[in-house]
Chains A and B, each alone.
Chain A
Amino acid sequence: MSDYLQSLSHLRAGLDSGIFSARELTQYYLDRVSRFDGALNAFITKTPERALAAADEADQRLAAGERAPLLGIPYAHKDIFCTAGVRTTCASKMLGDWVAPYDATVHQKLNAAGAVLLGKTNMDEFAMGSSNENSAFGAVKNPWDHAAVPGGSSGGSAAAVAARLVPVATGTDTGGSIRQPAAYCGITGIKPTYGRVSRFGMIAYASSLDQGGVLAGSAEDCALMLQAMAGHDPRDSTSANQPVPDYVTELDQPLAGLRVGVPRQWFTAGLDSVVAARIETAIAELESMGAQRVDIDLPDAELALAAYYLIAPAEASSNLSRFDGVRFGYRCAEPRDLNDLYERSRSEGFGEEVQRRILIGTYALSAGYYDAFYGRAQKARRQIAANFEAAFRDCDVIAGPVAPTVAFDLGAHMSDPATMYLEDIYTIPVNLAGLPGMSVPVGFSGSRPVGMQLIGSPFTEGRLLAVAHQYQQRTDWHQQIPAAYREGAA
């Protein structure tokens, strides 16, 4: 099996030619999870029995001659996607033992595709965080350096893929939650255009920003997974009714003449010099492949940060009002009256960061403050979208950093939430404008990986994946495996 582990297309070849069965492949990854996850804490819930049953089903379909891209391929879900019969916690005490009564559309689609769910991954509670330290199930470690955070909020998915505990995983990205952990863990991640992947059954944080996507070993693997996840869903009224292109075919579109925009304002004092150097080298590689570098202006990153940290909490305060101690999950002991039940269930059930964001959001929406905060933030959002539109008149894709530094140490920013928020300065504008973005590994600073962000205009996921894929044909950063996890992996 070891010759077939390096990509989904290799796994596909091994399964289709009968070199190993889906059960054997599933058992291989389950064994890795058992062996390594004690140190990483990437999983909240493991589902080995269900996984083996799903693998057996995939083997029957294979034996009947069926061939499909994800048939028998193991994966993990960020624990924000509802799965009937398997608990969905959102890494919160509030939903600690809650079992969804239905499947998320993404889960239905992956089930139908024959993919095999190994378990649900750790995350920042309700996807609020940039370090995966805000989890009721404990922090996740970065497989490259156990003293570092894996990033967040999809930190468990990123760590699991980087340590090769799963070949591919789902994630969600509201302000950088796929791209930043992908960068910190040295893997490839894609956040599609807002509305490209259904949000039905994906527990809401900030509904106008949330978008599901993929964390994987390569752009090609992202393409295969996204193909199965994307598409219009009548059950999500914000889902885009646009045809889904064939992302795998699009991987080979030529880069010759492609204009790569490099934002001047992003390569300034706030960016770590080693991170900047690695990204410059990667951009030079794209130029050597025929792309044309164009220096562009992309101002207002601080304005975007201000808008995001009002809009996202405002939407969160509304979305999370449903957790009332009555209809879902956690309820405090011996409530005095109904108000006490609400207040204590919520203050005991939600972690500190979630409570902070609910309070900020409620304030931003409250009488007398709405215009100054929420209304003004929505105007800023218009400005950010206009800045991107202007930039895309001069270029086809934008390349820059994902985050200002490589992964920081566990505990480094926990006492200062505002500093933690600065981590998202290059990723947030993309969510505000609803654009597709990727993180592609482009080297290391010491032991910690560096990611390059690629940003496209709406619905150009195929082009982003192509740029990343062709870069990965010439480099091997995406194939690096952390030393502690190399044994038995490929």
Chain B
Amino acid sequence: MSLNPSQLKHVAHLSRIALEESKIPALVQDLNAILAFAEQLKDGRLDDLAPMAHPLDQQQPLRADVVSETNQRDILLKGAPATEQGLFLVPKVIE
């Protein structure tokens, strides 16, 4: 189970990470060294085990459907790199 350069480019796009062409060979090598650990997962003992998502198998608690947070738009916008009129600003999406 290893990753080739074209798969890496696809995964980078899914991750929204720009890759410099020159860095791809070394990155493929690093990632495959990490993915080599995954060979261990072929262990047949695992076949019938249930996947474990929470370490203590805790149930997701439910809370009452009541308002707990108030509108904090101005405070939240302060952390954004560009805003205007109470909105996040991004490059034009539709011409």
Q: Which residues of A contact B (CB under 8 A)?
A: 98-101, 193-195, 208-209, 234, 237-238, 240-241, 302-303, 305-307, 309-310, 317, 321, 324-331, 335-344, 346-347, 350, 355-356, 358-360, 362-363, 366, 369, 372-373, 375-383, 385, 416-418, 421, 431-435, 458
Contact = CB atoms under 8 A, between A and B. Distances in A.
A418 B56 contact: no
Contacts of B12: 359
Interface string B65-95: 0000000100110111110000010111100
Contact of A418 (B36, B52, B53): B36
Contacts of A209: 55
B50 to A, nearest CB: 6
Contacts of B53: 208, 378
Given A382-B49, A385-B55, A434-B56, A303 B41 contact: yes
B18 A344 contact: yes
Nearest to B40: A306
B55 A98 contact: no
Give the secondary structure class of B's interface: loop
A454 to B, nearest CB: 18
Given A237-B60, A360-B35, A418-B30, A101 B79 contact: yes
Nearest to B12: A359
Given A302-B37, A303-B40, A234 B63 contact: yes
A326 B49 contact: no
Nearest to A372: B1
Contacts of B41: 303, 306-307, 310, 372-373, 376-377, 379-380
Given A98-B79, A306-B41, A363-B7, 4 more contacts: A337-B91, A358-B17, A373-B41, A433-B55
Interface size on B, as a range, is 35 or more
A118 B74 CA distance: 28
Closest 9 CB pairs of A and B: A434-B55, A378-B51, A331-B81, A418-B33, A343-B18, A306-B40, A306-B37, A342-B16, A347-B18
B20 to A, nearest CB: 8
A317 B15 CA distance: 8
Interface string B17-37: 111000000010011011111
Contacts of B56: 193-195, 240, 434, 458
Given A194-B55, A379-B46, A360 B31 contact: yes
A303 B43 contact: yes
Contacts of A344: 18
Contacts of A435: 55
Contact of B11 (A303, A346, A366, A418): A366
A316 B11 CA distance: 15
Contacts of A382: 46, 49-52
Contacts of A329: 79, 81
Given A326-B90, A378-B53, A363 B17 contact: no
Contacts of B33: 416-418
A359 B8 contact: yes
Contacts of B43: 303, 380, 383
Given A306-B38, A360-B35, A417-B34, A327 B19 contact: no
A416 B34 CA distance: 10
A320 B31 CA distance: 18
A343 B60 contact: no
A343 B16 contact: yes
5 contacts: A101-B79, A302-B40, A341-B91, A347-B19, A362-B14
Contacts of A194: 55-56
Contacts of A335: 91
Nearest to B20: A347
Contacts of B8: 359
B6 interface: no
A225 B86 CA distance: 41
Contacts of A418: 30, 33-34, 36-37
Nearest to A327: B80
B7 to A, nearest CB: 8
A135 B56 CA distance: 32
Contact of A328 (B14, B61, B80): B80
Contacts of B15: 317, 346, 358-359, 362
Contacts of A306: 37-41
A330 B63 CA distance: 35
Contacts of A237: 60-61
A343 B51 contact: no
Contacts of B88: 326-327
A253 B35 CA distance: 45
A433 B55 CA distance: 5
Nearest to A348: B18
B87 to A, nearest CB: 11
